[in-house]
Amino acid sequence: MLHDKPVRPDQESRQVSDDDNYRMNTYIAFFRGINVGGKNSLPMKDLVALLEDLGARRVRTYIQSGNAVFQSSEKNPSQLSGQLAAEVRKRRGFEPFVVFLEPDALKNAMAKNPFPEAETDPGSLHLGFLASTPANPDLEKLGSLRKESERFQLIGNVFYLHAPEGVGRSRLAASAEKLLGVPMTDRNWRTVRKVRELAEE
């Protein structure tokens, strides 16, 4: 699910003036399923260029799994998300699922983490960012798939999972999106923390 090993330095786009920054909103984009197993290739340098072509400034990325922080004058995140997905399809031949967040939403998701003791093992703590709040999540079925060591909680449009044994062979992790009934992209605590730092720069 999650590919979290740094493989290259963060990319950062051209700098802009203070006046430009004043008119810009900061956004965070989490992509799902890019650069995995040779499929859905989208190098971060190409993502930076693509976002800049859509008017984004100060684009920064973290690792190859598709985490970007940038500034844009666009006031409607949904419209920007649609433009971005369409442009990736045009240039790369696939249309990714992307979750857009503002920095306060990410900070709020981190503050609501129900498993704070797991933050010392950031690779085991995962936040699943959902396209919307699930209307009819099958939490009972999710519970039946849970290993003894695993814990989970759904809070609004964020699915928290503590998986000390890893998510690679976790039936709960593998079935979460289907049973929640809403598209989701997953990040571990290490990535979430780093992206928050980038958003605060």
Whole-angstrom CA distances from 55 to 12, 39, 62, 142, 146 are 14, 27, 20, 41, 44
Q: HSE (CB half, 13 Å, CA atoms) of 177?
A: 13
* Contact (Cβ atoms closer than 8 angstroms) between residue 124 and residue 195: no
* pLDDT tens-digit map of 84-96: 989 999 999 999 9
* pLDDT tens-digit map of 24-61: 899 999 999 898 777 899 999 999 999 999 999 999 99
Longest Cα–Cα distance in the chain = 54
Please tell me the pTM assigned to this model: 0.86
Decide the pairing of beta strands 67-72 and 25-32: antiparallel
Percent of residues, the chain, with pLDDT higher than 70: 89
- Tell me the average pLDDT across 88-105: 94
Number of CB atoms found within 10 A of residue 120's CB: 9
DSSP single-letter state for residue 155: E
Which residues contact residue 177 at a Cβ distance below 8 angstroms, ignoring those fewer than 6 apart?
Answer: 128, 183, 184
Nearest Cα neighbor of 110 from 187, 165, 174, 184 is 187
Nearest Cα neighbor of 129 from 151, 157, 107 is 157
* pLDDT tens-digit map of 111-145: 999 999 999 999 999 999 999 999 999 999 999 99
Q: So what's the pLDDT on residue 72?
A: 95
Q: HSE (CB half, 13 Å, CA atoms) of 27?
A: 24
In angstroms, the CA 50 to CA 59 distance is 10
Q: So what's the pLDDT on residue 13?
A: 45
Residue 169 predicted with pLDDT over 50: yes
